[in-house]
Amino acid sequence: MAEQLSNEFLSEVANEFGTPVYVYHAEKIKEQYHKLLDAFKHSNTRFFYACKALTNINVLKYIKEIGCNIDCSSINEVMLALHAGFAKENILYTSNNISFSEIETAQQLGVNINIDSISNLEKFGKKFGHTYPVGIRLRPNIMAGGNLKISTGHRDSKFGIPLEQIDEVLRVVKKTNLRITDLHIHTGSEIKDVEVFAKGIEVLFDIAQYFPELEIIDLGGGFKVAYKPGDEVTDIELLGKKVKEEFDFFEKKFGRRLQVWFEPGKFLVSEAGCLITKVNVLKAAPTTTFAGVDTGLNHFIRPMFYGSYHVIDNISNPDGEKKKYNVVGNICETDTFAEHRTLSEIREGDLLVFRNAGAYGFEMASNYNSRFKPAEVLVKDGKAHLIRRRDVLDDLLKNQIEIV
Angle at which helices 26-39 and 236-254 pack, to 10 degrees?
40
By CB under 6 A, which span of 14-22, 35-43, 202-210, 259-267 interacts with ligand PLP? 259-267
Query: Which lies closer to ligand PLP via its Cβ, residue 144 or residue 328?
Result: 144
**What DSSP line would sit under 62-85, residue for residue?**
HHHHTT-EEEESSHHHHHHHHHHT
Alpha-carbon distances, residue 15 vs 19, 200, 319, 390 (angstroms): 8, 47, 20, 14
Residue 188 CB, nearest approach to ligand PLP (Å) = 7
> Smallest Cα–Cα separation from 359: which of 39, 49, 45?
49
Residue 286 CB, nearest approach to ligand PLP (Å) = 40
Query: Which lies closer to ligand PLP via its Cβ, residue 94 or residue 330?
Result: 94
Strands 289-293, 322-328: pairing is parallel
Q: Which helix (H) or strand (E) holds 197?
A: helix 194-208
Coil, strand or helix: which one is 256? coil
Residue 50 CB, nearest approach to ligand PLP (Å) = 3
Is residue 265 near ligand PLP by the rule CB under 6 A?
yes
CA distance linking residue 119 with residue 375, whole number of Å: 41
By CB under 6 A, which span of 97-105, 214-222, 240-248, 384-392 interacts with ligand PLP? 214-222
CA distance linking residue 132 with residue 258, whole number of Å: 19
The number of beta carbons lying within 10 Å of the beta carbon of residue 208 is 17
By CB under 6 A, which span of 217-225, 239-247, 285-293, 380-388 interacts with ligand PLP? 217-225
Give the residue, chosen from 30, 123, 266, 302, that forms a contact with ligand PLP under the rule CB under 6 A.
Answer: 266
**What DSSP line would sit under 28-52, residue for residue?**
HHHHHHHHHHHHTTTS-EEEEEEGG
Is residue 53 near ligand PLP by the rule CB under 6 A?
yes
User: Is 68 a catalytic site residue?
Assistant: no
* Total of chain residues touching ligand PLP, rule CB under 6 A: 16
Is residue 273 near ligand PLP by the rule CB under 6 A?
no
> Smallest Cα–Cα separation from 21: which of 387, 394, 395?
387
Give the residue, chosen from 186, 310, 341, 355, that forms a contact with ligand PLP under the rule CB under 6 A.
Answer: 186
Give the residue, chosen from 153, 264, 273, 303, that forms a contact with ligand PLP under the rule CB under 6 A.
Answer: 264
Is residue 189 near ligand PLP by the rule CB under 6 A?
yes
Is residue 361 near ligand PLP by the rule CB under 6 A?
no
CA distance linking residue 85 with residue 67, whole number of Å: 12
By CB under 6 A, which span of 32-40, 205-213, 250-258, 265-273 interacts with ligand PLP? 265-273
**Burial degree of 307 (CB within 10 A; 0-12, 13-18, 19+):** exposed
Residue 197 CB, nearest approach to ligand PLP (Å) = 12
Residue number of the CB closest to ligand PLP reads 265
> Smallest Cα–Cα separation from 246: which of 296, 303, 205?
205
Is residue 263 near ligand PLP by the rule CB under 6 A?
yes
Interface mask toward ligand PLP for 81-120; x: CB under 6 A: -------------x--------------------------
The number of beta carbons lying within 10 Å of the beta carbon of residue 285 is 8
Give the residue numbers marked as catalytic.
Answer: 332
Residues that bind ligand PLP (CB under 6 A): 50, 53, 71, 94, 186, 189, 220-223, 263-267, 359
